[in-house]
Structure 1
């Protein structure tokens, strides 16, 4: 907290996974080491305010999903030495990372649930070590909209059943699961389908939604699900009122389920690199082509229908996947991002 910025909640986190996601491949940038990502996070400062922590991808080369207790302790020490906490963690549930599709009732489901269990184990251990006071375990359906569309009703039921079984695992570990709302995941690729899935699972407070401002903007455009588009065809981005009304429709539906929140910017286009499928493009916080007024539109998620802060989560995280390494290695990049995060907390936060 500083004299200029009086709120100390929600805590402000950076994400470590931009150092891994979308990296690699013949023409791609190499991964950025976890220690480098944490050093960049810890060094950022604006008006005396620093990042409080970071969120984490439980995937090599950053973190081995099969980490031993000693390796998890080493991870906790990395955070503590830098004065950072750990928040939400991402379980690698996808087939290429050892998981399986949530639509697969056989071996795929078994592998999917095993990855959720491993993720929950690491998350719980970090809590017990005292470096993770809040956060969720993030997951998704690990299947494509194209595969899902072969049998929408049947596949939605299968995903819901997998998520129900995942909920039981989370409860056993004292954890919560947040399904990432992103247009590249089958059964979750529109706001209506995401809401339908959460209602089928029916585990409020255990299985919820992770809202990312970049991804959810594409929900309003009906990317991968034109039937669920909210913004009109040919929408003029200069008409801010229409965008606000669309986001109100979206957030009123999904806010009650939201357990985790990513501050992000988007230019209303899709992008992918490395092994990551096309999804909402993450732009820098100050990108002139960004369509979101970050502090204003963050409030649609962070405040309820009456305008009061929901205080639904203790931390918020910046997500900016697939930026070039050249950009990510510049300290000013992270100062600009932190400044945007501070604006969000100044507008919608609270003091404890």
Structure 2
């Protein structure tokens, strides 16, 4: 039987940046080093086929010149890799600001999306990027969101619509990340409300991450929306996971393979969120292959052409260990064998 060739297998570059701080025991890891670690991984002759990028310093200047971006594209292509999804620099302290803030903050958010779309256009024209989306979140915390949930939901959806119009003008789609540390996205029900209020299903969709969405089930930042209680059975998990994925899968246009041990974790300036674990973590709560299948049903019809591993806030020593990447790649291959297509 012929092996599946899709979705393409990508590695995320932002684990070298998220939660990393200079002059600590977990300093940023350069884009070049992250590319080297990605290319070095190999399992039974199969390798990673691409990378997803974080569009901010020190990996990528969001205001880089065309020539600088083309040089980066040449470097990535020279490693035999494609570029897939791009993370827009939408947070305070980067280019953007919160999507449910005041008019000036929301204007910065849309500007950050436009800068990401410009970079995407250059990478597309170069040829190193042939698929993928622009990833966003609300860039504000659940506490701030809860101060005026109805008003903030309305403001966030209006900002997402404005950003969606920009994305459409570039031929891009936006994927809102389901991560519990972002207001309006901290609960699977609220995430769904935000997508429905935005009302652009062809342009603004959902980015599902196995580690983050596992915490949706437990209602960590929204106990009223919990679908599971501690000590749940496999049958209860299956029913809860079906409920959540049936609601969010039709919106899902970007997907991260990951593992979670049921806890939250934060490093540096990044707030606590679903802990990313190595693929073979003995405390992992998820059957990675089985859980991925819930999200990847009809994935091709939703325009998904690649999947990406996400391991944010791993210690640098773990990221520098070749075994980490071979184990991750092996897990990705199993997902494609079980749920992929050609």
TM-score class, shorter = over 0.9
* Paired residues for 1:79-98 under 5 Å: 79-98=76-95
Matching residue of 1:75: 72
- Deviating more after overlay: 338-347 vs 118-127: 118-127
Cα deviation, residue 247, structure 1: 0.7
- Alpha carbons 1:103, 1:141 under 8 Å: kept: yes
Q: Are positions 1:13 and 2:10 aligned together?
A: yes
Q: Distance in 2 between matches of 1:205 and 1:75?
A: 30
Does the C-alpha gap of structure 1 residues 143 and 292 become closer, same or farther in structure 2, counting only changes over 3 Å? same
1:50-74 Cα shifts (integer Å, max 9, x gaps): 1000000001000011111011101
Unaligned runs of 5+ in 2: none
**Of the candidates 262, 269, 274, which is equivalent to residue 275 of structure 1?**
269
Give the alignment's TM-score, normalised by structure 1. 0.95
- Alpha carbons 1:99, 1:108 under 8 Å: kept: yes
Q: Are positions 1:337 and 2:331 aligned together?
A: no
Matching residue of 1:176: 173
Cα deviation, residue 98, structure 1: 2.6
- Alpha carbons 2:177, 2:206 under 8 Å: kept: yes
Q: Distance in 1 between matches of 2:125 and 2:173?
A: 15
Cα deviation, residue 27, structure 1: 4.0
Q: Are positions 1:287 and 2:281 aligned together?
A: yes
Q: Distance in 2 between matches of 1:309 and 1:89?
A: 19
* Paired residues for 1:1-352 under 5 Å: 6-24=3-21, 27-231=24-228, 233-236=229-232, 239-303=233-297, 312-351=303-342
Aligned residues: 342
- Alpha carbons 2:95, 2:111 under 8 Å: kept: no
- Alpha carbons 2:22, 2:28 under 8 Å: kept: no
Cα deviation, residue 222, structure 1: 0.4
Cα deviation, residue 310, structure 1: 5.2
Cα deviation, residue 16, structure 1: 0.5
Does the C-alpha gap of structure 1 residues 235 and 312 become closer, same or farther in structure 2, counting only changes over 3 Å? farther
1:77-133 Cα shifts (integer Å, max 9, x gaps): 011100000000000101121311111231101111111100111011111111111
- Alpha carbons 1:25, 1:274 under 8 Å: kept: no
SS in 2 for 1:179: strand
Runs of 4+ in 1 over 6 A off after TM superposition: none
Does the C-alpha gap of structure 1 residues 74 and 260 become closer, same or farther in structure 2, counting only changes over 3 Å? same
Q: Distance in 1 between matches of 2:98 and 2:171?
A: 24
Give the alignment's TM-score, normalised by structure 2. 0.97
